[in-house]
Amino acid sequence: VELAKMTEAGRFILICLMMIGGSAGSTAGGIKTTTFAVLMLSIITTFRHRKSVEAFGRRMEDGIARTASCVFMLYLLLSCGGAVLISRIEGIAFLDALFETVSAIATVGLSVGLTPTLGSVSCLILCFLMIFGRVGSMTMLLAFSSNKNIKISSLPLEKVQIG
């Protein structure tokens, strides 16, 4: 199937599937199926007004939903940010640029045929996304964060209205 001839809806579905990626522990890219499952379970937990994420008769660690959200948002921001930059630099449609960036960060290798025509800056953006996607979001976060400021005490709790 020639990807450039797919409908926009078909390409968007493929973008979503590439973003989810494969299972944890595999060489597949993306946010991983387990991260996606935790995100979905977290949404269900929120709608049911429960405190902790549960699945298959088990309760998950308290910070797991926050970690899954962080991974997803990082992938989403980098993919969309790269797509905006590439579409502005190259003058191409945003959805085509998004397809290329998600394919890069998820280390899939699919293309709608734009990659050979991209300029140097756009290729560097895709290279950064490929490296980030291969190394992984948690590894990159750990590499750039410092544990030197470990707090023994905690700040006062503030209730924030969401939605």
Q: Work out the average pLDDT over 98-107.
A: 96
Number of domains forming the structure of the chain: 1
Whole-model pTM: value is 0.83
- pLDDT above 70 (res 150): no
- pLDDT above 90 (res 155): no
Residue 152 lies in a domain: no
CATH of residue 66? 1.10.287
- pLDDT above 90 (res 161): no
Residue 138 lies in a domain: yes
Query: What pLDDT shows up at residue 62?
Result: 83
| Residue of 114, 129, 117, 118 whose CA lies nearest to 74 | 129
Residue ranges making up the domain that contains 41? 31-144
User: What is each CA distance from 84 to 34, 74, 78, 98, 143, in whole angstroms?
Assistant: 28, 15, 10, 8, 26
Six-digit token string for 152: 């023994």
